């Protein structure tokens, strides 16, 4: 098995403008648990979880814990379809939870930027930003996530 974990400290992590990123105050499993709870508390659904660590393991690579949580809700999709069906590829939204030697990070797309090409969805994007921000704060020691 090829151990990629040893190479990761030498890799530079880029955080593009369209990402929101926080360092979690918790371990990997607790971070996942808190995010799942925050999704449910916001009356949203976990659509699917992807475990890249397990997938890479099947391909012969070992990496630190990494998970993607896809979340949304049918009522949100209905709003998108009624406003602009062209926006459907932007959903669902997701959190990426990654455990490295420096700690656990959570990254999400910034809904304000994801939905910015769709002028009729500015209010929707703002609502989703606020929801995403509240969910990220459930794992972060920060007071707010910046736009």
Q: Nearest-CA neighbor of 56 among 103, 107, 3?
A: 3
Percent helix, strand, coil in the chain, to 5, is 45, 25, 30
Superfamily per CATH, domain 18-137 = TT1751-like domain (3.30.310.70)
70 Ramachandran zone, left/alpha/beta (phi>0; psi -120 to 50): beta
Tens digit of pLDDT per residue, the chain (147 long)?
888 766 566 666 777 788 999 999 999 999 999 999 999 999 999 999 999 999 999 999 999 999 999 999 999 999 999 999 999 999 999 999 999 888 999 999 999 999 999 999 999 999 999 999 999 999 997 766 654
pTM across the whole model: 0.90
């Amino acid at each position: 098995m090829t151990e990629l974990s040893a190479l990761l400290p030498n890799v530079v992590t880029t955080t593009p403008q369209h990402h929101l990123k926080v360092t979690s105050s918790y371990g990997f499993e607790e971070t996942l648990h808190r995010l799942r709870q925050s999704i449910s508390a916001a009356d949203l659904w976990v659509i699917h979880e992807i475990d890249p660590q397990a997938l890479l393991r099947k391909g012969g690579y070992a990496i630190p814990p990494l998970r993607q949580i896809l979340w949304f809700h049918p009522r949100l999709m209905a709003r998108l379809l009624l406003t602009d069906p062209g926006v459907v590829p932007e959903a669902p939204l997701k959190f990426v939870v990654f455990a490295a030697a420096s700690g656990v990070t959570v990254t999400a797309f910034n809904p304000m930027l994801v939905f910015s090409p769709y002028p009729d969805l500015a209010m929707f994007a703002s609502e989703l930003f606020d929801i995403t921000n509240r969910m990220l704060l459930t794992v972060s020691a920060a007071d707010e996530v910046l736009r």
